[in-house]
Homo-oligomer: A and B are copies of this chain.
């Protein structure tokens, strides 16, 4: 059933909106009261044994025969020009097969044209200078020391505020603000509203650089066969990497196959091809050998991306009853030397509350530090700290319950946007979370002293994020003669459990056990699927898998009708058997039927079309934190986080909880311990590797209550799912910061909230 949609498409650098005819997906949304046996069940990971047992082969586990090892020489300076480069000694070292640099590599545009694959101007400590390809990693590393580089050291700027001052050193000739100028959004009229407000609060908030530190570092293994490249890449978007690499090499896309059957985390830092991907491909073509370029943990700290640190200022105006009348928000994001897209800091201030007067001024600022990358809820997390701390400060000022203030300003979609929300069950999330944490135990600040030197506090924060998926996505399904089914889809499971959830969807439709359905992904030979980021994998791919399975189901029923000599409308598919309605002994199992059909294969193909264009699709949530603060040591202990989110239908409650746990823990890290530290003089990264950089350790993990609203979205897509990837990280830092403020009666708005900062806030340190 073809239909026409408007689609923003990119062609030769232009973005155009065009109407394009698409196949349609006319499946009705699974109703809220549908009775399922597999969807919604706590199915354990279909690839859990592989992942835990060590048999899963990640990119870093690929060792094609004859593989060479590539390592990268990185800039020791925050800003320099390569004035001289002599690689001849390195080239002569036994075992070295190639040295790539700007002297001999093709000139390939990088970072949206802002730089080159090998750029003689170096813009951060860690920027790529050259790559050595050798028989083994030790020889390659030895050769790095033999490369002679003459650096012309240039002045640098590391701080975002400094970088936007007139006369600042320029990181790029187009200026230090990404896109040339700050972005402004305004509705209503903020200044007079603030002037007239019965009460105002103002906060300055800072959030740190946060490193993704995926368990599998970034990297690629490249192998050519004839004019065709196979690239194993630890990525969140195999099709994107394929396109980027094809364009970089100037070859047709059909010559590139990208594989990523297993991937050890990305969190947004693997949304695109890395320089390593193209370096591996170029080196493999040049040497006619497979080439591996995989980051060390140190490189992962230097050059793999980060959540950019932010400086934010927020002013709220309100009536005495807590009704917001104005939000004035200003935010800078220090995106380092390279970044394609600005941080979407303005999202929460624009949408979270039904405030008539809102202004946001935001900018992403280039500095001579490591490049920023998307990190789980980019911008939204940072801005939520500012907004939700300010809201709670407002409640405190007014002596109101912060939850009451939030409910008073609850926004329907058409109050803040042109289009209504497809679903918004944030009230339910507030209710579930408040009940779990025991919100009624919260007292006005400063909160109660629980024992000598220890204060307890409660805080909360709201969450908003997209949930629309990123169509299109395609899937196909095929039965084998023995009744096993295979689903193929070109998505990737970056550790989120997408493989398991998608398998459940297919198994549910086909009424067969999960272990009779094998879902294969991570291969650009499979049907197109989008980026696994933005919480969009299941909302993109799930509906396509369902549609493919439904088509296969109809195919099974038609075939069974013939074999059982009945009309298709009289055939029921239940529990892996096809039965003639009312004639219980006229039945055949799926496996017997596919066996009888022989090589006449039961197939199905599914498509996830464009989103409905009359609604806005968002996820919602609220988290409530209970903390204890040791006023002697400044140590903050998070006792519990109650996390309640409206992400539409929950396909798998175990995986839902797993995402909640992961998000809360990562958010807790940002709130309390993580900060990527750069020497303010030299721009050197000071906390390389896990030794120095403080991701949360096990004893820090609180009780986490993962609560799901669980109401299917009635419009978003045929499953009623939205997405749970980013939501749980978004409110955690704000909730913890609010709980600390509640405990102490002083507000610390410079995250992470380290013991030193606590003691300083309490006046116990200078």
Binding site for B on A (CB under 8 A): 2, 4-5, 7-12, 16, 18-22, 47, 49-50, 53, 55-57, 62-67, 224-227, 239, 243, 246, 252-255, 472, 474, 476, 478, 480-482, 484-486, 488, 516, 518, 520, 523, 525-528, 530, 558-559, 561-563, 592, 595-601, 603, 605
B472 touches A601 (CB 8 A): yes
The chain B residue sitting closest to A610, CB to CB, is B600
Query: A64 to nearest B CB, angstroms?
Result: 7
- Which of B527, B561, B562, B563 touches A478 (beta carbons < 8 Å)? B527
Given A563-B18, A599-B528, is A592 in contact with B53 using a C-beta cutoff of 8 Å?
A: no
Jot down 15 A-B pairs with beta carbons below 8 A, ordered by A. Answer: A5-B600, A7-B598, A9-B595, A10-B595, A10-B598, A12-B595, A20-B600, A21-B558, A50-B226, A56-B226, A252-B480, A252-B516, A254-B480, A254-B484, A476-B476
**A53 neighbours in B (Cβ, 8 Å):** 226
Extra A-B contacts (4), CB below 8 Å, given A7-B597, A7-B600, A63-B65: A21-B561, A65-B67, A252-B480, A252-B516
B21 touches A254 (CB 8 A): no
Query: Complex: how many Å from CA A426 to CA B18?
Result: 56
Query: Complex: how many Å from CA A246 to CA B482?
Result: 10
**A476 neighbours in B (Cβ, 8 Å):** 476
**A592 neighbours in B (Cβ, 8 Å):** 11
Query: A763 to nearest B CB, angstroms?
Result: 57
Query: Complex: how many Å from CA A595 to CA B12?
Result: 8
Closest 9 CB pairs of A and B: A63-B65, A9-B598, A11-B595, A50-B226, A254-B518, A254-B484, A253-B480, A55-B226, A21-B558
The chain B residue sitting closest to A562, CB to CB, is B21
Query: A487 to nearest B CB, angstroms?
Result: 10
A20 touches B596 (CB 8 A): yes
A252 touches B484 (CB 8 A): yes
The chain B residue sitting closest to A597, CB to CB, is B20
B20 touches A253 (CB 8 A): no
**A66 neighbours in B (Cβ, 8 Å):** 63
Interface secondary structure of A, over-half rule: mixed
- Which of B11, B57, B64 touches A596 (beta carbons < 8 Å)? B11
The chain B residue sitting closest to A592, CB to CB, is B11
A20 touches B562 (CB 8 A): yes
A474 touches B56 (CB 8 A): no
Given A49-B226, A56-B225, is A601 in contact with B16 using a C-beta cutoff of 8 Å?
A: no
**A226 neighbours in B (Cβ, 8 Å):** 47, 49-50, 53, 55-56
The chain B residue sitting closest to A563, CB to CB, is B18
B486 touches A254 (CB 8 A): yes
- Which of B243, B527, B596 touches A9 (beta carbons < 8 Å)? B596
B20 touches A225 (CB 8 A): no
Query: Complex: how many Å from CA A66 to CA B63?
Result: 9
B4 touches A562 (CB 8 A): yes
Q: Which of A525, A563, A599, A601 gathers most chain B CB within 10 Å?
A: A599
Query: A235 to nearest B CB, angstroms?
Result: 16
Query: Complex: how many Å from CA A644 to CA B102?
Result: 60
Query: A709 to nearest B CB, angstroms?
Result: 31
A525 touches B528 (CB 8 A): no
Given A57-B225, A528-B478, is A16 in contact with B596 using a C-beta cutoff of 8 Å?
A: yes
**A9 neighbours in B (Cβ, 8 Å):** 595-598
**A47 neighbours in B (Cβ, 8 Å):** 226
- Which of B253, B472, B484, B561 touches A253 (beta carbons < 8 Å)? B484
The chain B residue sitting closest to A64, CB to CB, is B65
- Which of B50, B472, B488, B563 touches A600 (beta carbons < 8 Å)? B472
**A49 neighbours in B (Cβ, 8 Å):** 226-227
**A486 neighbours in B (Cβ, 8 Å):** 254, 525
Query: A753 to nearest B CB, angstroms?
Result: 42
Query: A744 to nearest B CB, angstroms?
Result: 50
**A64 neighbours in B (Cβ, 8 Å):** 63-65
Query: A490 to nearest B CB, angstroms?
Result: 10
A596 touches B478 (CB 8 A): no
Query: A404 to nearest B CB, angstroms?
Result: 45
**A253 neighbours in B (Cβ, 8 Å):** 480-482, 484
Query: Complex: how many Å from CA A743 to CA B555?
Result: 63
Query: Complex: how many Å from CA A57 to CA B484?
Result: 30
**A601 neighbours in B (Cβ, 8 Å):** 472, 474, 527-528
Query: A67 to nearest B CB, angstroms?
Result: 8
Query: Complex: how many Å from CA A481 to CA B8?
Result: 14
